[in-house]
């Protein structure tokens, strides 16, 4: 279980840091996506800040589980956006990230331990 928590956290950090970073530096595909969805560009930057901030906070042991839960809830917006715009491939990706974050939150709260405490057991 410790290895699974560690891997899930690492994967979530990488995904949210990369995704949020792409938004914050204004990569063209992100600008096009937010424009296509009808969202203002300031919203893209806000989402980027939340994603990068979440990635950083996932690294804080006492915050990992609640932050993962918050990011899972945050992903509901991405899932809804992809449903509304019939982007089925991206819906699968967003749903997978949501489920991984939700599992990480649940598992972390269930065992009631922080990630560094688990490292010594791996």
Q: What is the pLDDT of residue 112?
A: 64
Which pLDDT tens digit goes with each residue over 43-69? 999 999 999 999 999 999 899 999 999
In a domain, 10, yes or no: yes
| The model's pTM | 0.88
- The reply to whether 117 falls in a domain is no
Residue 120 has pLDDT above 90, yes or no: no
pLDDT at 122 over 50: no
**Opening angle at CA 97, ends 3 and 6, nearest 5:** 15
Looking at the structure of the chain, the number of domains it has is 1
Position 109 scores a pLDDT of 83
28 token code pair: 């063209």
Question: What HEC string does the chain produce?
Answer: CHHHHHHHHHHHHHHHHHHHHHHHCCCHHHHHHHHHHCCCHHHHHHHHHHHHHHHHHHCCHHHHHHHHHHHHHHHHHHHHHHHHCCCHHHHHHHHHHHHHHHHHHHHHHHHCCCHHHHHCCC
- Inform me whether the pLDDT recorded for 35 exceeds 50: yes
**Within a domain: 71:** yes
- How does 26-35 read in b/e, with b if 16+ C-beta sit within 10 Å? eeeebeebbe
Could you report the per-residue pLDDT of 90-108, keeping only the tens digit for each? 999 999 999 999 999 999 8
- Is 104 a domain residue? yes
> 27 is in which domain, residue-wise?
2-112
> Is residue 121, in this structure, part of any structural domain at all?
no
């Amino acid at each position: 279980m410790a290895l699974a928590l560690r891997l899930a956290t690492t994967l979530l950090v990488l995904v949210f840091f990369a995704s949020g970073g792409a938004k914050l530096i204004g990569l063209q595909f992100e600008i096009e996506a937010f424009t296509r969805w009808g969202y203002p560009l300031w919203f893209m930057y806000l989402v980027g800040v939340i994603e990068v901030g979440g990635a950083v906070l996932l690294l804080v042991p006492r915050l990992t589980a609640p932050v993962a839960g918050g990011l899972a809830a945050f992903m509901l917006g991405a899932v809804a956006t992809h449903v509304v715009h019939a982007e089925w491939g991206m819906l699968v990706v967003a749903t997978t990230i949501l489920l991984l974050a939700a599992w990480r939150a649940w598992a972390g709260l269930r065992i009631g331990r922080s990630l560094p405490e688990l490292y010594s057991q791996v």
